[in-house]
Amino acid sequence: MKDRVAIVGAGVSGLTCGVVFAESGYRTAIFAEETGQRTTSGVAAALWFPYDAEPAAAVIEWALETYQVLVDLNREPRTGVSMIELCQFSRTGEIQIPDWAIPLGASAIPMVPSVIPSEVSRCCGITGPQSELPRTFTSGFAMTVPLMDTTIYLDYLAKRFLGAGGEIHTGIRFERPEDVNLAFDVVINCTGIGAKNLVHDEQLEPHRGQVAIVPKVENLTCAIVCDDPPLMYAIPRANNCVFGGTNEVSDELDVDPIATARILDECSRALKIEKPDVLSERVGLRPFRKSGVRLERGCLRDGRTVVHNYGHGGSGFTLSWGCANAVLELASSR
């Protein structure tokens, strides 16, 4: 008989591992303090793009594996996954198109002065008076990537896991991984920033991110992202638009009204629109790990197998399927 598997954590990492284990025939249960919208995963934008996670080589491999799974999920509307054109810009100098992005169709956005407004507005789907976008950016590239609407996608994962025979137990906070009931042979640690306390990992660093959810922006059909400080992104979703963002080392979960004002200023200026109303403000702690994502097998003090899967920084969605498949492989190896 196959091992009984307990997954700690119900963010994107825990839910994706849940699906992979349950669909591989393991009797699997998820235990978590919070689920869905109350996790860091519920705050994410959540666009497929490797960002703020280490180590680069493994991150790209997991990300590309995840990309293929998400492209398939995009064919089923109930998943909340869609494909969107991402326009990645720089404010200073020439942006480099990463080597891995070229086979995915990434191409430079022409930035000859006379071409800027029409080209940028073309990829934003903006026409008419708004097409004269300000010259905030100096270079950019465009590519088509998966976008997960977290309000749909996290529920989709949970339903798919339950449909494969999994169980979800919420409102449970463990002090140590050994607290998981001994009926489970294997423990998978998907606790995100919570691993700082659960396994006392000093390598984990909270990279605080704040976003403002605003009403849909008319004619904005592509995601606009600029990673140069100040970090700025505008990501249209089915029912609203996510304006961001911030990235600072802090574990402050309260909303900072000054940051919201700055985000609104920056996004409205780049899109050349009036400042929109704010529907809600959200804060999450990206689980950045200085020595890189922890994806490794170990042994608990009581002798059971543990597989750690946390520390995905700003890329938890982007790496989710690649990491979950690697966790399954590690847990199954003898």
Ligand X SMILES: Cc1cc2nc3c(=O)[nH]c(=O)nc-3n(C[C@H](O)[C@H](O)[C@H](O)COP(=O)(O)OP(=O)(O)OC[C@H]3O[C@@H](n4cnc5c(N)ncnc54)[C@H](O)[C@@H]3O)c2cc1C
| Contact footprint for ligand X (CB under 6 A) | 8-14, 32-35, 39-41, 43-47, 172-174, 190-194, 198, 209, 211, 244-245, 284, 286-287, 310, 312-318
- Report the residue number, 80 or 245, with the smaller CB distance to ligand X: 245
* CB 319, min distance to ligand X, A: 7
* CB 109, min distance to ligand X, A: 20
Count Cα atoms within 13 angstroms, Cβ side, for 252. Answer: 11
- Report the residue number, 111 or 212, with the smaller CB distance to ligand X: 212
* CB 199, min distance to ligand X, A: 9
**Using CA atoms, how far apart are residues 325 and 16, in angstroms rounded to an integer?**
9
Give the DSSP letter string of 101-162.
Answer: GTTTT-EEPP--GGGHHHHHHHHHT--GGGGS-----SEEEEEEEEEE-HHHHHHHHHHHHH
First to last CA, the chain: 15
- Report the residue number, 150 or 305, with the smaller CB distance to ligand X: 150
**Using CA atoms, how far apart are residues 6 and 27, in angstroms rounded to an integer?**
9
The total number of residues shown for the chain amounts to 334
- Report the residue number, 276 or 314, with the smaller CB distance to ligand X: 314
- Report the residue number, 33 or 132, with the smaller CB distance to ligand X: 33
Q: Are 299 and 330 in contact (CB under 8 A)?
A: no
| Angle formed at CA 49 by CA 48 and CA 50, multiple of 5 degrees | 130
* CB 247, min distance to ligand X, A: 8
- Report the residue number, 44 or 271, with the smaller CB distance to ligand X: 44
**Using CA atoms, how far apart are residues 233 and 270, in angstroms rounded to an integer?**
9
* CB 288, min distance to ligand X, A: 9
What are the C-alpha distances in Å from 294 to residues 14, 193, 287?
14, 12, 11
Q: Are 16 and 308 in contact (CB under 8 A)?
A: no
Q: Are 87 and 140 in contact (CB under 8 A)?
A: yes
* CB 139, min distance to ligand X, A: 21
* CB 200, min distance to ligand X, A: 11
- Report the residue number, 41 or 139, with the smaller CB distance to ligand X: 41
